[in-house]
Amino acid sequence: MDKYQQPYKGVVIKLLLETEGRIMLCLDATYTGVDVPSRFKKDTNLMLILNVNMPNPIDIGVDSVCSELRFGGIPHYCKIPYDAIWSAFNPDTNHGMMWPDSMPEEALKQHGLAPLNELTLPPKIVKKPVKKSKKATPFQVIDGGASAKKTNQKPAGKPKLKIVD
């Protein structure tokens, strides 16, 4: 596999299920061939949980993953083509993989992966410019044991950093 090629999605999903036990699939439900309940068909950021302890088998096929899933207690046989899946991971451990090339534009923006010139930041996130001075530093070390070394006392702990405004 060359450095730009990513592993086959079916192999990743199978490996994650075998090693992690449960995974979350992030997918674009608007993609052609996705079969989910109609109320989710417009969701470009649909997240579905697969678990090896589910009562129905999970079919990891050549071009899609299929299984009967429950939505609010109502079963629905779902078919998810691999091309619609843009991430597969264990939500407890965050082990998994993301395929940004498969992400729809809305999901790219939502997850902060779109180019910055396309994103609009809320006003609260925009920070005031910091005045730079040769005398001031943006942080200082809070004594956590440095002075104890000089007096041969037991250190109080590791030094910590404090932001200085």
Per-residue model confidence as pLDDT tens digits over 129-162: 444 444 444 444 455 554 444 555 555 555 555 5
pLDDT at position 117: 47
pLDDT at position 119: 44
pLDDT tens digit string along 96-135?
988 888 888 877 777 666 554 444 444 444 444 444 444 4
Is 2.30.30.220 the CATH number for 9-113? yes
pLDDT at position 8: 87
Whether the CB-CB separation of 67 and 13 falls below 8 Å is answered with: no
Q: Is 106 exposed, middle or buried (0-12, 13-18, 19+ CB in 10 A)?
A: middle
Nearest CA to 31 out of 101, 78, 84 is that of 84
Could you tell me which residue, 8 or 2, shows the higher pLDDT? Answer: 8
How far, rounded to the nearest angstrom, does the alpha carbon of residue 13 sit from its chain's CA centroid?
Answer: 15
Q: Tell me which residue has tokens 């995974």.
A: 23
How far, rounded to the nearest angstrom, does the alpha carbon of residue 135 sit from its chain's CA centroid?
Answer: 40
Distances (CA, A) of 94 to 25, 87, 90, 149, 158: 12, 11, 5, 41, 29
Whether the CB-CB separation of 10 and 16 falls below 8 Å is answered with: no
- Sheet with 64-71, strands from edge to edge, namely 59-60, 64-71, 74-81
Whether the CB-CB separation of 42 and 112 falls below 8 Å is answered with: no
Could you tell me which residue, 108 or 67, shows the higher pLDDT? Answer: 67
Q: Where are the domains of the chain?
A: 9-113, 127-165
pLDDT at position 143: 52
Task: Check whether 78 has a pLDDT greater than 80.
Answer: yes
The proportion of the chain whose per-residue pLDDT surpasses 70, expressed as a percent, equals 63
Q: Tell me which residue has tokens 């997918």.
A: 27
Least confident of 17-21, 23-27, 128-132: 128-132
pLDDT at position 111: 64
Distance, in Å, from the CA atom of 114 to the CA atom of 100, rounded to the nearest integer, reads 10
